């Protein structure tokens, strides 16, 4: 029990466990066909807003580990694994927590801005690494048919995760 008191008490442990379960549930919804709506075949990358919103409330140190967990889950079950996901999600976990701690305010607008920037960078990285430089037919069509709508769909889901993580953080503060 001394260890739990040192890290902030029972409520902190329960909050972090609930957020970890939320991250695993988000991963399951994202990667299991039929569990999350895919309008016109467009898939949202819902681990991006989940990781960013959790990191915004848990700050940079915990954000590193939540981001690493999200990226490692994606890399473990990805056919094109190059640890890109682990590196990217660890970076956004740290950056979103650090920016909220030292520079920005923790609100929905900042979350939306950061999810927008992260989604753009992630889709651009995946697009260039796996499609544009691979010599596929009509790479511009592929970007605007799949990657750009996926980025918009991801951004639209940010308020859902922000409110959910905020309520969990308030309840177990």
In order of start, what are the domains of the chain with their CATH numbers? 2-171 (1.10.1760)
Percent of the residues in the chain that have a pLDDT greater than 70, as a whole number: 94
How far apart CA 127 and CA 58 sit, in angstroms, is: 30
Q: For residue 135, with 0-12 CB atoms within 10 Å meaning exposed, 13-18 middle and 19 or more buried, which class applies?
A: exposed
Residue 8 is predicted with a pLDDT of 64
Q: Which two tokens stand for residue 65?
A: 């580990």
Residue 4 has pLDDT above 70, yes or no: no
Q: What pLDDT is recorded for position 6?
A: 55
pLDDT of residue 35: 81
Within 10 Å of residue 99's Cβ, how many Cβ atoms?
19
Contact 96, 55 (CB under 8 A): yes
Q: To which residue do tokens 């592929």 refer?
A: 142
The predicted model scores a pTM of: 0.91
pLDDT computed for residue 41 by the predictor? 82
Q: Are 66 and 95 in contact (CB under 8 A)?
A: no
* Mean pLDDT within 105-117: 95
């Amino acid at each position: 029990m001394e260890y739990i008191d040192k890290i902030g008490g029972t409520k902190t442990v329960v909050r972090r466990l609930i957020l970890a379960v939320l991250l695993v549930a988000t991963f399951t919804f994202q990667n299991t066909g039929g569990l999350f709506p895919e309008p016109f075949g467009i898939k949202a990358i819902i681990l991006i807003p989940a990781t960013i919103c959790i990191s915004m409330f848990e700050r940079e140190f915990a954000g590193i580990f939540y981001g690493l967990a999200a990226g490692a889950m994606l890399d473990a079950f990805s056919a094109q694994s190059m640890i890109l996901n682990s590196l990217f999600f660890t970076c956004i976990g740290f950056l979103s927590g650090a920016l909220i701690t030292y520079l920005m305010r923790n609100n929905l607008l900042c979350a939306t801005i950061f999810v927008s920037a992260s989604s753009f960078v992630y889709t651009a990285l995946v697009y260039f690494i796996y499609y544009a430089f691979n010599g596929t037919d009509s790479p511009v069509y592929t970007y605007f048919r799949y990657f750009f709508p996926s980025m918009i769909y991801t951004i639209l889901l940010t308020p859902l995760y922000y409110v959910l993580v905020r309520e969990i953080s308030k309840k177990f503060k």
